[in-house]
Structure 1
Amino acid sequence: METRQQGFLDSEPLKEADENTTSDVNLSNPLMTEEEREEIQLELAKLEDEISTLRQVLASKEKRHTELKHKLGITSLSELRNNLSRGWLDMQSSTAYKRTSGTLTSAGQKTTAAFSTLGSAINRKFGDMRNSPSFRTFEEKVENTVTSIKTKVGGPGAGGSFEDVLSSTAKASSQDTPTSTLTDTPERP
C-alpha cells in the first residue's frame, strides 16, 4: 500500500487497490441480491478472458501483417510516401482547398496589379522631380563640383574613362620603378 501526502480535505491516506481482489469492492446496491452479484462477477471474468484472447489474436494478426508486407517489399517509408500523396490529393480535391486556392490566386493578381500601378506612379514622380527646376539646379552644382575636382586633381584636360586613368597610372608607376639588372661578378673559388 502506498500513502500520499494528505491534502486539506483528505481524512486518511489513499490506498492502492489490488486488481485481483474483488471482495474489497463495496457494491452498496441494496436492490441487488447475492446471486445477481455473482452473475455479474462471472460475466466480468468472461469479458476479461475474451479481451485477453482478442489481444493475443490481434498481436498474431499484426505479426502476419508485417510479414506479408515484408514479402511484398512494402517499407514504412513507401507507406508514408503513399499516405502523404493520397492525403495531398484528397486535400487538393476538397472544396475548402479549391476556395482558398482561388482566393489566393485572385489576391496575387490584385497585388501584382497594385505593385504595377505603384511602380508607374513612382516612375512618373521621379520624372516630374527630374524635370523640376530645383533638381536641375542641384544637377548643375554636382556637375560643376565634379569638373572642379577633376581639374584640381588631374590638371587641365584631365578626365577620361576609368581604363584611361588605370593605364596612365600603370605607365607612371612602371617608369618610376627602377629595374634591377644583374651585374657580372666573378664567382669566388
Structure 2
Amino acid sequence: METRQQGLLDPEPVTEVDEEMVSDVDLNNTMTDEEREGILSELTKLEEEISTLRQVLASKEKHHSELKAKLGITPLSEFKQNFNKSWYDMQTSTAYKKTSETLSTAGQKTSAAFTTLGTAISRKFGDMRNSPSFKSFEEKVECTVSNIKTKVGSQGGGGSFEEVLSSAAHASAQETPSNNMPESSDHERTC
C-alpha cells in the first residue's frame, strides 16, 4: 500500500483502502433479525390499516351518493352549479374586470376607426363620382344603354339581342352612327 505525504493538518498518514474489502461489507446486515421482524410486522399492520381505510372511504362515498340522490342532486346539476360558481368567481376577479375594461375600450376605438374609415371611403367615392373621367365613363354607359334600347325598340324583332348589343358596342366605340343603324334621337347623336 502506498502512503501519501503527510500534510500539516493530517495527524496520521492516509493509506489507500483495498476496494475488495469495501465491496464485501453488506450494509443491510447491520440490522438484527428481531429488528427486521419488527419492521415487517409494522409494515403488515400499516397495509391492513390502509385496506380498512379504503373500505371505509368506499362506504362513505356510497352513502354520499345515496344522500345526493335523495336530494335530487345529479352530476349534471353539480356540474352546472360548479360552472356557475366558477364563472361568477372569474367575473368578479380583478384580472377579468381589467381585461373586460381593456376589451371594451379597444372595441370602442375599433368602432370609431371603422366609422372614420367608412366616412373616408364614402368621401373618396363621392369625389371619384364627381371626377371628369368618371362622368365621361358614366355618359358612355348611358349612351350605350340608350342605343341598345333604341335599337331593340326600332328593329321590332328583326335581329337577336346579341346582334343589337354588338352593333351598339361597335357604334359606341366609333362614336358615330353606323350605316346599318337607323336614324336615332338627338340623345343618341351626342354620344
Q: TM-score, normalised by structure 1?
A: 0.65
Q: Report what 1:42 is aligned to.
A: 41
Deviation at 1:98, TM superposition (A): 1.4
Matches within 5 A, 1:172-183: none
Deviation at 1:114, TM superposition (A): 0.8
Structure 1 stretches of 4+ moved >4 Å: none
Whole-Å Cα distance in 1 between the matches of residues 31 and 154 of structure 2?
A: 121
Aligned residue-pair number: 130
Deviation at 1:33, TM superposition (A): 2.6
Tell me which amino acid in the other structure corresponds to 2:128: M
- Do residues 90 (structure 1) and 99 (structure 2) align? no
Deviation at 1:28, TM superposition (A): 4.8
Q: Report what 2:58 is aligned to.
A: 59
Q: How big is each residue's C-alpha offset from its partner over 1:16-71, in whole Å with a ceiling of 9 and x where there is no partner?
A: xxxxxxxxxxx952433322222221111111001000000001101111111111
Tell me which amino acid in the other structure corresponds to 1:61: K
Whole-Å Cα distance in 2 between the matches of residues 31 and 93 of structure 1?
A: 62
Deviation at 1:111, TM superposition (A): 0.8
Tell me, which stretches of 5 or more residues in structure 2 are unaligned? Answer: 1-25, 156-191
Deviation at 1:74, TM superposition (A): 1.1
Q: Report what 1:33 is aligned to.
A: 32
Determine what percentage of the aligned residue pairs are the same residue.
71
Whole-Å Cα distance in 1 between the matches of residues 56 and 84 of structure 2?
A: 32
Tell me which amino acid in the other structure corresponds to 2:46: L
Deviation at 1:102, TM superposition (A): 1.4
Q: Report what 2:116 is aligned to.
A: 117
User: What RMSD in Å do the two structures reach over aligned CA positions?
Assistant: 1.7
Q: Report what 2:80 is aligned to.
A: 81
Q: Report what 1:151 is aligned to.
A: 150
Whole-Å Cα distance in 2 between the matches of residues 67 and 95 of structure 1?
A: 39
Q: How big is each residue's C-alpha offset from its partner over 1:150-169, in whole Å with a ceiling of 9 and x where there is no partner?
A: 0001139xxxxxxxxxxxxx
Tell me, which stretches of 5 or more residues in structure 1 are unaligned? Answer: 1-26, 157-189
46-55 vs 67-76, which deviates more? 67-76
Q: TM-score, normalised by structure 2?
A: 0.64
Greater relative CO (CA pairs within 8 A, separation 6+): 2
Q: Report what 1:4 is aligned to.
A: none
Structure with more helix by fraction: 2
For the pair shown, the structure with the greater C-alpha radius of gyration is 2
Q: Secondary structure at the match of 1:155?
A: helix
